[in-house]
Structure 1
Amino acid sequence: MSMFSCTLDNDKSPPMPVVNISLAAANVRLHNMREERSQFDEASNQIVTHLKTKEDELLKTIASSKVEADVLNTWINFLEDTWVLQCSYADIKEKQVDDELEEHEDYFVHLAIGLLSSYKKELEPSISRIGKFVENLKSLSQGSETEVAADTEDLNPRKSLEQQYRDHEAKIITTFSVVDNMKEQFYAQQGKISRKNDPRVKGLFDDLEKLRAEFESIERPILEIETPTPRGPESPSGAKLQGSLSQSTVQVTETQNAVTDEHPKSPAVKTEQVLDPEAELAKLESEFGNVSRDYSAEEIGDWEFDELERELRSGDTAPSK
């Protein structure tokens, strides 16, 4: 019985080569698995090392970011405090400027009121005088011109009135020009400051505009001191002087002819005595001035007297030769 069972066991067991092959294959698989495990462990270690490095870098970055955040927070706090101080200073400064501006606006308004009041006070009588001057000049223009011409230059009432009229007119025009400049400056920024709408100033400007309208309504007379003196032969004094000079020239020529008849044998003396009438006329004109200009009756009388005296002297010297 035992012999039979042993034979059965030998028949069931695999052959020895097969066992060896299986064992060798198992060893190869074990070796491969160990190598794979070793490679896996090595790769895992590398990954862990890399992750550790990244972790360290991230920790450093976090620390640096925290420091920067602290600096930025400090800077933000500083800027906030500075902004608060600046806003506070700006508010204080603006309030101070507004107070000073309001104070100076008060000064400016009072100054403008004072100046405009004084201008109004000066313009009212000046414009009244201008009207009286115009009336007086019209009345003088309707008077006798010969009486005015007979007066001397210093005592000419029309010239004095015209000069006073011009002085008052220039003063009034200058005052209105100053008022216009003040008005332009006063209302240059209208609406920004309420004090510039002061009713007193507005009333004074309105009163001055009424005075301007009154002044412009006065008709300006024609002033002789501004009108050029007419020149030409139509001037009576010029015509009178021209006639006197022509007569004097004829008399001088006749005297020279008489001298020539008395001394016919003296050619040298004759050459000196004979004068060109036109040259003599030009000489007299240069001595007396332009004949076309208007002269006073007194000047013309003096010239005629000098001319007669010159003729008498010529008559006395001619017989002596």
Structure 2
Amino acid sequence: MMPKACRHALRAGVCALLALPLAGCFEQPLSILDPAGPGAAPITQVWWVMFWGSLAIYLLVLGLATYALLHRRRNGQAPRRALLIGGGLALPIVVVFLLLAYGIRSGQAMLPLPTSQTVFRVDVRGHQWWWEVSYPDAPGGALYSANEIHIPAGVPVDVHVSTEDVIHGFWVPRLGGKIDAIPGRTNVIRLRADAPGEYHGVCAEYCGVQHARMALVVYAHPAEDMPARLAALAGAGVDDPADLQDTQGARDFTQHCLACHAMNPRERSSQPGPNLADLGVRAMLGAGTLENTPEALRDWLRHHQARKPGNRMPQAGLPDAGFDAIADFLEHSSTP
């Protein structure tokens, strides 16, 4: 009869295998098991290699433990030297070496190597706790946005990642691995979306109290539609300073918000605040904190410290009518 300890271990292994299909790892927005580009596919392969390899090692250890319990040597001693050298030294060295070699090969797809294809460039700068996005090669000059990245599908995209403050981690799991944003450095990762779609990302390096609310979304468009998307961004916002005095909302925005938030899509905010030129067409507010609806925008303006405590935006001392006026201005001015 199988010893009780072995029965428990076998039962645990069977339960783990049965639970895998229920783990919710497949076809999820942040799943590495649902790759959507050549940068993510090798990572998925490494994951499966590690999973099946770990399962094989687990079963091997389970089998050896069962054998040792059922077939003790006459003197009661197990072959310690063979187990020590084989299982404790040789096996880990071989496994780690194979994983290292396979992992290095898998990372080649994310290196910005020379290519005959046209490469689309996006600059992403991490802030506590949001993402600054710019398109330096856009027609007519650089364009600025925040927390949403628009790229052409089927085209290599070099993402130049940097940071304004602390270390952040740029990671879009379905398109590739993560890369750190390190103060004083710019790191480059090459991604490509095989098909148009929406790909979610996060900050993968703890960066402070609102680390969990630092989401981003990558929108991959058909390549032929990308010029129109950039043109729409260029046409959003306010490029004439006189327009900032037309309404009460514009005047309130100029007085309380303009020092940190640019409204011209071709200007980088002078202070660490997101460019709001295309806010009206963004899906989320506060880097994924709230869905972007008229009601949520007004709630965010009034209670942003309650919704995302510790964020760098100061509280404006305005009556409700003032917040409503600013919200109206943003809704009408930030829609292409």
Instruction: Please report the TM-score for the alignment, with normalisation by the length of structure 2.
Output: 0.25
Q: Which has the larger radius of gyration?
A: 1
Q: Which has the higher strand share?
A: 2
Q: Which has the higher helix share?
A: 1
Instruction: Please report the TM-score for the alignment, with normalisation by the length of structure 1.
Output: 0.26
